[in-house]
């Protein structure tokens, strides 16, 4: 990057909503430093990948992408790896991909300006791998919100659960929470700026512990939902161990809290849950599902599942299938187990072959698809409020999202297309396993 020349950057994000929000912080900082964001690696001076290391495929994808784009080195490009893989691998990334110039974990994004100065001065092998325990990870002066209507607020960083398969405690550090005052201040500022949907984020968002001692997580949810201008409040991801009846009561009491709970179960077998160090049993989890089903509002439920964890027997897998049937999830995000560095499970013999893992995953997905077909059909004839997302698909339908976080593609007889971020009542006329179809009223 020649001095005095326009500085451009390309940023690609892998992983969860927390990574998406982290990327918003990175983009805001780079723009403030005089960089312009471009939409392709070829047009960029600086190519950044914000990475995820939850699963082996996500990690490999980043290194594959780096390998594919290293040919751009001849054009003077510089490369940077950010996020969880950066924190996990550290300076080993320079050994694996010597053409990378910058490695930074999420706890160090506030130091990006000084790292960029070093980069522009021609230095290579610049690292930002601060103590993962810092609370300063919450404080980023510049945030570029990628969606003008829906915004994220991180309220909890890190994780203290140490599930046997998970790298998060090693890449994000211990659990630490923001003060409820700072969360509410940011939420009010977002509402004043026109954001009508706010999503509270955390690796275990419901593990929130207010450093000021003013509010529980459920009370914070309700307080955000009562801010003028806020139409919808979401939260993710919850841990069953910290899921309380108070959260369900808040959803019932505050209409702006979305009627959707994502509660990862990971396995329907108490035996496997113990091997995973999940700190609850099948019965404990189902008790919380009972609270959700007993709510006055109909609350949509989604989950995460890992198949083929070391030690999972055929009976254990069958317990997971019966869990799907008993709960009736509206969506399941299911994956084959893959060993992750530094985790306790990596020392276990991975006795279940890839072929068997794949077979179990396919059985689970097919059962869930059948369940979702029935589940989505219950909305036929209902009128649901959608937030317009502004996309038009190949059939000319407009894409919206319901409070239950379901995609609803719809048509309208009005000559003017509804604006992105607007809210409309839509009557459901057709249902598929992963989406609904309707007509705007």
The tokens for 73 are 């080195």
What confidence score (pLDDT) does residue 136 get?
Answer: 53
What confidence score (pLDDT) does residue 97 get?
Answer: 87
Do residues 355 and 253 share a domain? no
User: Is residue 173 included in any domain, yes or no?
Assistant: yes
Residue 140, pLDDT above cutoff 70:
no
Using pLDDT thresholds of 50, 70 and 90, give the confidence band for residue 248. very high
Do residues 389 and 373 share a domain? no
What confidence score (pLDDT) does residue 131 get?
Answer: 56
Do residues 424 and 329 share a domain? no
Start-to-end CA distance of the chain, whole Å, equals 53
Do residues 251 and 174 share a domain? yes
Residue count of the chain = 441
Residue 2, pLDDT above cutoff 50:
no
Using pLDDT thresholds of 50, 70 and 90, give the confidence band for residue 15. confident
Distance CA 34, CA 31 (A): 5
Q: Which of 3-12, 250-259, 393-402 has the lowest mean pLDDT?
A: 3-12
Last residue of a domain, one of 377, 410, 432: 377
CATH number of the domain to which 353 belongs: 3.30.750.200
Distance CA 117, CA 125 (A): 13
Q: Span 281-302, mean pLDDT?
A: 98
How far is the CA of 154 from the CAs of 11, 87, 117, 168, in angstroms?
20, 19, 28, 15
Do residues 359 and 387 share a domain? no
The tokens for 11 are 């940023």
Furthest C-alpha separation in the chain: 65
What confidence score (pLDDT) does residue 49 get?
Answer: 92
Q: Span 387-405, mean pLDDT?
A: 89
User: Is residue 203 included in any domain, yes or no?
Assistant: yes
When the pLDDT of each residue in the chain is averaged and rounded to a whole number, the result is 90
CATH number of the domain to which 16 belongs: 3.40.50.12160
Q: Which of 14-28, 317-331, 409-423 has the lowest mean pLDDT?
A: 14-28
Do residues 124 and 11 share a domain? yes
CATH number of the domain to which 230 belongs: 3.30.750.210
Ramachandran sector of residue 83 (left: φ over 0; alpha: ψ -120 to 50; beta: rest): left
Do residues 198 and 237 share a domain? yes
Q: Which of 27-41, 212-226, 365-379, 421-435 has the lowest mean pLDDT?
A: 27-41
User: Is residue 308 included in any domain, yes or no?
Assistant: yes
User: Is residue 141 included in any domain, yes or no?
Assistant: no
Q: Which of 56-60, 301-305, 434-438 has the lowest mean pLDDT?
A: 56-60
Residue 133, pLDDT above cutoff 60:
no
| Strand, helix or coil for residue 152 | strand
Distance CA 100, CA 73 (A): 10
The tokens for 325 are 């049937």
Reported as a single tens digit per residue, the pLDDT across 142-190 is 566 778 899 999 999 889 999 999 988 887 788 999 999 999 999 999 9
Last residue of a domain, one of 197, 224, 258: 258
Q: Span 294-302, mean pLDDT?
A: 98
Distance CA 206, CA 219 (A): 11
Distance CA 35, CA 399 (A): 32
Residue 428, pLDDT above cutoff 50:
yes
User: Is residue 133 included in any domain, yes or no?
Assistant: no
Give the domain extent around 430: 383-440
Do residues 156 and 245 share a domain? yes
Residue 3, pLDDT above cutoff 60:
no
User: Is residue 39 included in any domain, yes or no?
Assistant: yes
User: Is residue 140 included in any domain, yes or no?
Assistant: no
The tokens for 369 are 């698809």
Percent residues over pLDDT 90 in the chain? 63
Residue 115: count of CB within 10 angstroms of its CB? 21
What confidence score (pLDDT) does residue 33 get?
Answer: 87
Do residues 282 and 323 share a domain? yes
Those residues with Cβ within 8 angstroms of residue 184's Cβ, 6 or more apart along the chain or in another chain: 220, 223, 224, 227
Q: Which of 127-136, 285-294, 365-374 has the lowest mean pLDDT?
A: 127-136
Do residues 79 and 38 share a domain? yes
What confidence score (pLDDT) does residue 56 get?
Answer: 67
Residue 105, pLDDT above cutoff 70:
yes
Distance CA 168, CA 173 (A): 7
Distance CA 319, CA 164 (A): 20
Do residues 279 and 248 share a domain? no
Using pLDDT thresholds of 50, 70 and 90, give the confidence band for residue 378. very high
Q: Span 205-219, mean pLDDT?
A: 97
The tokens for 328 are 């009736």
Residue 1, pLDDT above cutoff 50:
no
Task: Return the ∠ at Cα 176 (arms to 174 and 181), rounded to 5°.
Answer: 175
| Strand, helix or coil for residue 332 | strand
Adjacency order of strands within the sheet including 260-262 = 260-262, 300-307, 331-336
CB 197 within 8 A of CB 386: no
Residue 234: count of CB within 10 angstroms of its CB? 21
User: Is residue 53 included in any domain, yes or no?
Assistant: yes
Residue with the larger pLDDT of the pair 317 and 28? 317
Adjacency order of strands within the sheet including 35-37 = 35-37, 7-13, 46-51, 78-83, 100-104, 126-128
Distance CA 404, CA 128 (A): 39
The number of distinct structural domains making up the chain is 4
Last residue of a domain, one of 377, 403, 424: 377
Do residues 254 and 184 share a domain? yes
Q: Which of 206-215, 319-328, 383-392 has the lowest mean pLDDT?
A: 383-392
Of 436, 429, 419, the residue nearest 196 (C-alpha): 419
What confidence score (pLDDT) does residue 85 get?
Answer: 82
């Amino acid at each position: 990057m020649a001095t005095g020349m326009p500085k451009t950057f390309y940023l690609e994000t892998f992983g969860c909503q927390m990574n998406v929000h982290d990327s918003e912080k990175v983009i805001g900082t780079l723009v403030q430093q005089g960089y312009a964001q471009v939409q392709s690696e070829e047009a960029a001076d600086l190519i950044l990948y914000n990475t995820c290391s939850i699963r082996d495929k996500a990690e490999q994808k980043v290194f594959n992408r780096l390998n594919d784009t290293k040919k751009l080195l001849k054009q003077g490009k510089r490369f940077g790896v950010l996020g969880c893989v950066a924190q996990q691998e550290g300076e080993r990334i320079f050994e694996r991909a010597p053409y990378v110039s910058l490695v930074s974990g999420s706890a160090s994004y506030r130091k990006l300006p000084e790292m960029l100065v070093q980069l522009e001065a021609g230095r290579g092998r610049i690292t930002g791998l601060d103590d993962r325990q810092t609370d300063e990870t919450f404080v980023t002066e510049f945030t570029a919100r990628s969606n003008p209507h829906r915004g994220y607020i991180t309220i909890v960083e890190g994780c203290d659960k140490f599930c046997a398969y998970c790298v998060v405690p090693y890449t994000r550090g211990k659990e630490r929470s923001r003060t409820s005052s700072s969360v509410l201040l940011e939420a009010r500022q977002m509402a004043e700026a026109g954001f009508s949907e706010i999503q509270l984020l955390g690796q275990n968002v419901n593990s929130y512990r207010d450093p000021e001692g003013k509010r529980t997580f459920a009370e914070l949810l309700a307080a955000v939902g009562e801010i003028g201008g806020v139409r919808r409040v979401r939260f993710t991801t919850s841990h069953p161990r910290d899921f309380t009846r108070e959260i369900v009561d808040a959803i019932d009491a505050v209409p702006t809290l979305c009627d959707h709970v994502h509660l990862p179960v990971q396995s329907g077998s108490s035996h496997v849950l113990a091997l995973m160090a999940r700190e609850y049993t099948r019965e404990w989890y189902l008790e919380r599902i009972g609270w959700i089903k007993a709510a006055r509002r109909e609350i949509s439920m989604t989950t995460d599942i890992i198949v083929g964890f070391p030690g999972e027997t055929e009976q254990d897998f069958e317990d997971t299938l019966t869990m799907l049937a008993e709960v009736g999830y509206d969506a399941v995000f299911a994956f084959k187990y893959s060993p992750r560095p530094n985790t306790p499970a990596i020392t276990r013999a991975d006795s279940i072959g890839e072929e068997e893992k794949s077979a179990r995953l396919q059985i689970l997905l097919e059962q869930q698809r059948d369940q979702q077909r029935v589940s989505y059909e219950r909305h036929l004839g209902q009128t649901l409020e959608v937030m317009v997302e502004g996309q038009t698909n190949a059939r000319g339908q407009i894409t919206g999202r319901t409070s239950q976080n379901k995609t609803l593609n719809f048509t309208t007889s009005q000559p003017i297309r509804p604006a992105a971020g607007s809210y409309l009542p839509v009557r459901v006329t057709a249902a598929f396993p992963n989406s609904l179809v309707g007509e705007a009223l």
